[in-house]
Amino acid sequence: MRKRTTWILIADGARARIVLSEGWSSGLERALDHDFAASHAPTRTYGADRPGRTFESADGSRHAMEPRVDWHEYEKHLFAVSMAKVLDEAAERGAFDRLVLVAPPKTLGALRAALKARTRKMVIAEVGKDLTHVPVQGLAEHLRDVVPLNPRVPSRGTPGR
């Protein structure tokens, strides 16, 4: 019988990594040999000019207009969409049988919306937490209610990540 591979995406709006589990008898290990990172600048750097000004309709006074887009949030959304593409391509290749998404709620919603239907059907659990700073060896403790992991089997990953 073939082992069922579960990929676990650990992400926030700017960083992500993918680990895998092949069942109770194995620990967590890195699914890919690299992490993903986006270069996000603060919102203030996207609008270098002073904000536009408008007149108040009641008394003719002027005030600054708020920007219509929070560019920092928009960049986070684009990062989630790019991670969904990575997962969709891996699902097409048959790299995993099941998928677990771990991200803060806003990022989780963007990921869910961007996944193709086929990949979305493979999602067995979602965890609304930011675990990007937890090393691979410490993830089992946070995911034991979601993925069957044997705590006695050491996880393999880059130390400190």
pLDDT tens for each residue of the chain, 161 residues long: 457 889 999 999 889 999 988 876 677 888 887 888 887 666 566 555 555 656 566 666 666 666 666 777 888 899 999 999 999 999 999 999 999 999 999 999 999 999 999 999 999 999 999 999 998 888 888 887 887 665 555 555 544 44
CA distance 15 to 122: 22
Q: Which pLDDT value is given to residue 2?
A: 59
In the CATH hierarchy, which top-level class contains the domain 6-39+73-143?
A: alpha beta
Contacts of 28 (CB under 8 A, 6+ apart): 8, 19, 20, 21, 136, 139, 140, 143, 149, 155, 156, 157
For residue 72 the two structure tokens come to 């920092």
- Closest C-alpha among 111, 108, 104, 98 to residue 147: 98
pLDDT score, position 118:
95
pTM above 0.85, yes or no: no
pLDDT value for 99? 94
Q: Which residues contact 66 (CB under 8 A, 6 or more apart)?
A: 51
The candidate with the shortest Cα–Cα distance to 9, out of 141, 129, 149, is 129
- Distance (Å, whole) CA 127 – CA 134: 14
The pLDDT, as a whole number, for residue 89 is 96
State the DSSP code for 56: -
Question: Distance between CA atoms of 148 and 44, rounded to whole angstroms?
Answer: 44
